[in-house]
A and B are shown apart, each in its own frame.
Chain A
Amino acid sequence: MMRSIKQQPFRAAVLVLVWGWLLFLVLAPNILVVGASVMTRNPSTFISLPLNLDAYRQLFNPLYLDVFLHSLYMAALTTLICLLIGYPFAWALSRVEKRRQMLLIFLLIVPFWTNSLVRTYALKLILATNGLLNSALMSLGVIDEPAQLLYTEGAVIVGLVYLLLPFMILPLYSVFEDLRQDVLLASHDLGAGRFATFKNVVVPLTLPGVLAGVMLVLLPAMGLFFVPDILGGSRNLLVGNVIKNQFLDARNWPFGAAASIVLTLTMALLMFAHRLSKRRLGEEGA
């Protein structure tokens, strides 16, 4: 361990590059955001002095708590569904012959290179009352009346899952790829059943991938404003919509900035609390 502290050109270069990038392109603009959040809204220049906390005070409104909880619920449900589909998928993918894996990964991601707005419209063609799915089900005699699929919460969830699935699968795949067959065989040889092997060997080894996938799906899902707009008939506001509206429609920048900061802090707190409770559980178990 001592050795890595020793000054090395490569290490120094890496740290300078990484810190430089983040300080310049993340910290600096975020200082601007924090600054904007404590300023006064101004109709002709967006923001102006004097400094005050009005924007934060405005957040104490049950409406925003409601919107936040609703967004969190939608995002969590999306994440869960992505995980349920993605976990076995990534596992199955990692067990295909190596030669084929590359090809399959690319085939997975290629549909996502078509603009998501265009793909969301294609989903609409499928889900609409006069759409393909309803026509197919009706001609098969499964249903008599077209079902109401579009402009429902369910449609929003389908849209979010469809747009975010690779963000769950790819990190999972990258850990499954490392899961060696001999580990599973060893577990089996030691007399563990399939379920025990899964629970005690596979899950712990792939947990980092699960956590990464959850992060990559949950956090963006809170902000994908156009999915509720197009598939949900924009009847449910999500956090992303509210903040975008505050910046562009209502032109209340301090409020938009404050909402974004509070959102980030709340999510960080939730994750921290989750980690803490996990650790405590782990200690009790040990």
Chain B
Amino acid sequence: MRWLSRSYLTLVYLLLYVPIVVLVVFSFNDSRTGYNWGGLSLRWYDSLFNNHAMVQAMWNSLWLALTAATVSTIIGALTALALHRYRFRGKRVLNGMLFVVMMSPEIVLAISLLGLFLLLGLKLGYVSLLLAHVTFCLPFVVITVMARLSGFDERLPEAARDLGASDFTMTRTVLLPVIMPALMAGWLLGFTLSMDDVVVSTFVSGPSYEILPLRIYSMVRVGLKPEVNALGTLLLVFSLVMLMLSQRILSRSKQ
């Protein structure tokens, strides 16, 4: 049983990483058209490092995804807790609104949010992007946390309350540890969604804050350059290095 589940995990990981391996290999391909193998070369890394606008866009994207995922995790978790624990009027309306966000085609979300920001006179840039990204990440967090909460033993918070804990203390000490895996899952989904969004961002961003997906989609005019493979590779290496560092720190702090 154990080896079966291990080999299944390995198989799925392999399948997930196949396209990524292709991407990494082709980032070292000398050919410009990105199809045939034209020999080993670092030219795309070189041209990437000279493409300040692209690197800047990547940093903007990372920062936006980091903040959007964090804010949407906080608000999403609170929303899920409110839906789960509190009795208040309009629960269905709240649920309905989250559903509408999930279901709205991106272009509708994009144009309606831009319409709103323009009505309010909000300057387009980081703030408008953050508001939009948090909004479309929100239902993903709420749904994930709700799933976790629905199997939760209701007597625990009751007991905590009976022991005199305030609502806030109870949430922090009893509920938070319970929903932790869901928070992590929700944060990761939010980060992924935000890193990848292009339609909504096209409309609500301004010249002061351009993000990576826009630049990549816009390349279709002259063809996707293998530079994006180099960028993908660097991002992958960067994530993996960060991952290993955090693992080392975690295991050391435990010792």
Contact = CB atoms under 8 A, between A and B. Distances in A.
A and B touch in the complex (CB under 8 A): yes
Interface of A: 1, 3-5, 8-11, 14-15, 17-19, 21-22, 25-30, 32-33, 36, 85, 88-89, 91-93, 95-96, 99, 102-119, 121-123, 125-126, 132, 162, 165-167, 170-171, 173-175, 177-178, 205, 208-209, 211-212, 215-216, 219-220, 222-223, 239-240, 243-244, 247-248, 253, 256-257, 260, 263-264, 267-268
B53 interface: no
A32 B116 CA distance: 8
Interface string B131-158: 1101100101001101110111000000
Given A19-B94, A208-B150, A116 B196 contact: yes
Contacts, number: 255
B49 interface: no
Contacts of B199: 244
A113 B235 contact: yes
12 contacts: A3-B161, A4-B87, A10-B166, A18-B75, A26-B135, A29-B109, A29-B112, A102-B250, A103-B247, A109-B188, A174-B184, A244-B106
Contacts of B97: 22, 26-27, 30
B38 interface: no
B100 A248 contact: no
Given A30-B100, A126-B18, 13 more contacts: A8-B167, A22-B97, A29-B116, A30-B112, A89-B9, A108-B16, A122-B22, A126-B22, A171-B143, A215-B102, A216-B189, A222-B103, A243-B107
Chain A interface main SS type: helix
A4 B85 contact: yes
Contacts of A14: 78, 81-82, 86
B147 A115 contact: no
Contact of A111 (B16, B85, B148, B216): B16
A110 B147 contact: no
B124 interface: no
Interface of B: 5-6, 8-9, 12-13, 16-20, 22-23, 26, 34-35, 75, 78-79, 81-82, 85-88, 90, 94, 96-109, 111-113, 115-116, 131-132, 134-135, 138, 140, 143-144, 146-148, 150-152, 161, 166-168, 171, 178, 181-182, 184-186, 188-189, 191-192, 195-196, 198-199, 212-213, 216-217, 224, 228-229, 232, 235-236, 239-240, 243, 247, 250-251
Contacts of A91: 5
B189 A21 contact: no
B239 A115 contact: no
B107 A247 contact: yes
Given A10-B166, A115-B216, A211-B147, A174 B181 contact: yes
B100 A1 contact: no
Contacts of B182: 171, 174
